[in-house]
Amino acid sequence: MPRVVRIRAYWAHRELHHEHKLVRVGPNELITGDPDIIRSINKERSGYNRGAWYTGGRLNPYYDNMFSLQQPAAHTRYKSRVAHGYTGREILDMEIGMDEQIGTLLCVMRDRYARAGRHLELAEVTAFFTMDVITRLAFGEAFGYLAQETDLYGFLGGLRVLWPSLSAAADVSWLRQILFSTPFLQLLGPSPRDKTGFGALMGVAEHHVSKRFGPDAEQATDMLGSFIHHGLNQQECEVEGLFMIIAGAESTASAIRSILVHTMTTPRVYVKLKAEIKAALEENMATSPIQMDQALKLPYLQAVVYEGLRMRPPVLGLLPKVVPAGGDTLGGQWVPGGTNICSNTGALLRSRSLFGPDADVFRPERFTELEATPRRRDMERSVEFAFGSGQWQCAGRKIALMKLSKTVFEVGALNPPCLALSSPVQ
């Protein structure tokens, strides 16, 4: 125990999962990095509900979003109404809209930074980019973060300041019950009348939604249009509109940063990736901008994307599910009903049994060495635990993977040099 206390919980839990399938981390709370256990508790009709931790995803005092719904039946009904929007099935120009924002990103990198000799702050630029992508897909028009190179509404800065506190509050039961309660959110929570932060973004989302429900409303084939088509009312669209911005922006920005930093600071990998990109363009295997069906046929590109996701998954929350009444047997151990079973995605994606003895090393070749074999697909499915699994899997997984593949290809084609880091990678 003294050794565990001295180390940050994340690292302690990850090490413990090399030896144990289930680890107790608090009263009535276990955590696991075992893929079979996680699949079991997340599958359809498993009897497991989401834990109260998910209340932390609720920003509106009156309405839940898809993330904060805890009962499987209610979540399934709601997801059936928004899934077509999140998967892009009903967004006719989804890839075109994404290509527009990638084009803006490349222009900014090339014209405002490379040619001007300016230092590029990767964290800032990728956050601006993903905000523009999600708002373009959600509302039919990008908010313009990249074009203005400004944190509009102070949302991103506010999110980074608040996120550690929000995460801690979600993990601590008594804090969660206070800070995410309806009375607290009514009195002190974000408001659409705020000038900056979450509240300001709520106001912007409400403005865009109101235009679709007014007397002169015109519907569009974007995510919001899909939600309306499947029966979401104005209030539900406002809540989901805010959630999809939060869920679709900073998480994928984090993934893009992980992939690019790991790749560009590993010259062997970067040279190999650029060679595949160059060959694909010269042999007409890829257009510019690349289309997703073309990107899926580039094995090393896909290996780099999956390996970058594996090294630093974008979401590392507890994601607890509650053992049903009567208990359950998990990993050969009986667990009483009412126990929270949390997922340790970071430990799962560094599992030596799944990814080999060098699982802590960034090495995309672990995928390409297997070529198009069932074992490679099994490894890719394991990485996709970063998006959840089963009935609770992230509805935006397809859009996220498309964004990652296309962005990494196009930035690689731009041919920036290997990074000289101005500060150590944390």
State phi, psi for 24 to the nearest 5 degrees: -80, 130
Q: How far apart are CA 47 and CA 22, in angstroms?
A: 19
Annotated binding site for heme: 394
Indicate the angle between helix axes 299-311 and 397-414, nearest 10 degrees.
110
Q: How far apart are CA 348 and CA 17, in angstroms?
A: 8
Residue that is written with structure tokens 């090490």 in the block: 15
Q: How far apart are CA 113 and CA 116, in angstroms?
A: 5
Annotated binding site: 394
3-state secondary structure the chain: CHHHHHCCHHHHHHHHCCCCCEEEEECCEEEECCHHHHHHHHCCCCCCEECHHHHHHCCCCCCCCCCCCCCHHHHHHHHHHHHHHHHCCCCCCHHHHHHHHHHHHHHHHHHHHHCCCCCCCHHHHHHHHHHHHHHHHHHCCCCCHHHHCCCHHHHHHHHHHHHHHHHHHHHCHHHHHHHCCHHHHHHHCCCCCCCCHHHHHHHHHHHHHHHHHCCCCCCCCCHHHHHHHCCCCHHHHHHHHHHHHHHHHHHHHHHHHHHHHHHHCCHHHHHHHHHHHHHHHHCCCCCCCCCHHHHCCCHHHHHHHHHHHHHCCCCCCCCCEECCCCCEEECCEEECCCCEEEECHHHHCCCHHHHCCCCCCCCCHHHHCCCCCHHHHHHHHHHHHHHCCHHHCCCCHHHHHHHHHHHHHHHHHHCCCCCCCCCCCC
